[in-house]
Chains A and B, each alone.
Chain A
């Protein structure tokens, strides 16, 4: 069974540009979660998608957005990039509330 896959592995952007990060969940998982892991800050919850709908979002500005497609894959968009957006962005998927998350290996976004 394929795990959660994220692309690209690394992404370098300049300040003010837009970044698009992609995630494919495990087959059968309908929920996708996005987290930001900045250096020294642990995991900060960004977004939760389920059945194509945004169910919850963390304390991030609106320039962080995303969507979930009919095949349950997901995209995270970050507009007007700032230097402090540099972080590892982790995607996870799950089958339901009683289950843990399965994480992808992340996308390392560097804003220069």
Chain B
């Protein structure tokens, strides 16, 4: 089955600085990759996805992610962090052969003023 690893439980950045949240994946075929964000006591909100095409994917709220097939990574990035970006971020991979999605353990991003 497909799997995702988010190696950092916590990422702290200062407002205005660039941020990166790391994700690596394992899947048997071509991956469908996703990033979601979760605010306190809420469900997950979709940020962006990679299915095929350009390796750099742009999503909501100024976030982007780069698909790197050789490193099996899909890191989430933003050039300038905002305090309001503070939340829990989940990377997910979907194997199109079995259709269900598996999530990483999540990374808590804290942006300090």
Residues of B bordering A, CB below 8 Å: 32, 34, 36, 41-46, 49, 51, 90, 94, 96, 98-106
Contact = CB atoms under 8 A, between A and B. Distances in A.
A72 interface: no
Chain A: interface size category: 20 to 34
Q: Is the interface of A mostly helix, strand, loop or mixed?
A: strand
A104 B104 CA distance: 19
Contact of B43 (A42, A45, A98, A103): A103
A23 to B, nearest CB: 11
Given A35-B103, A43-B90, A55-B100, A100 B43 contact: no
A103 B45 contact: yes
A100 B98 contact: no
A100 B33 CA distance: 9
B34 A100 contact: yes
A101 B101 contact: yes
B106 A97 contact: no
Contacts of B94: 97
Nearest to B49: A100
